[in-house]
Chains A and B, each alone.
Chain A
Amino acid sequence: DTAVSQTPKYLVTQMGNDKSIKCEQNLGHDTMYWYKQDSKKFLKIMFSYNNKELIINETVPNRFSPKSPDKAHLNLHINSLELGDSAVYFCASSQVSGGIGDTQYFGPGTRLTVL
């Protein structure tokens, strides 16, 4: 009954590889997000989608490409992985985009380690 789920939970890969992280929400929300949490636990938004349309793209390298096949799914594909991409990536969803007090629901995170 997980509200926001991500796969995989752990991802270990070599520099230069391409990898994807998948996210699904079963809350019926219209908006989904990707956040990056660095080694000091600082969280920063990367992207948001509202009903499959890109709303936020926060100066993320174009090696990162989000894809939303439907409003319940938001995947993150990363090309040519670099050491600095090692982090925990969180998916989140909310009812609307920018609604006052709108709560975001987070997935369990995907810990990406680039060697």
Chain B
Amino acid sequence: GDSVTQMEGPVTLSEEAFLTINCTYTATGYPSLFWYVQYPGEGLQLLLKATKADDKGSNKGFEATYRKETTSFHLEKGSVQVSDSAVYFCAHGGSSNTGKLIFGQGTTLQVKP
């Protein structure tokens, strides 16, 4: 069935370090892929997305590339800031085009000054 698996957190980095959060998915077909971010005490916000194979989504210095061969959508950022501390969720749009999002378990990122 449909699922998303993310690397377990928490991930603790120093400011300006390189970030990678791994995400793999299972689905029938090629669903749209998303990264959402949840800052403390807030709802989720879309960070970036990709709708087809080899698409790269990018926003605020974050990037992720839709890899059909490895069914992956890893999130990267070259230099993290303290303000990037949040929970990051990988998700896909499901195999049935009903609009429901299938979420990974979330990865908590803590960036220290």
Contacts and interface: CB of A to CB of B under 8 A. Distances in A.
Interface residues of A, number: 31
Contacts, number: 72
Nearest to A50: B99
A104 B98 contact: no
22 contacts: A41-B38, A41-B87, A41-B106, A41-B108, A42-B103, A42-B106, A43-B44, A48-B98, A48-B100, A55-B98, A56-B99, A97-B98, A97-B99, A98-B96, A99-B99, A100-B51, A100-B93, A101-B32, A104-B99, A107-B43, A109-B42, A109-B43
Interface of B: 32, 34, 36, 38, 41-46, 49-51, 87, 89, 93, 96-101, 103, 105-106, 108
A105 B46 CA distance: 8
A94 B99 contact: yes
Nearest to B100: A45
B43 A108 contact: yes
A18 interface: no
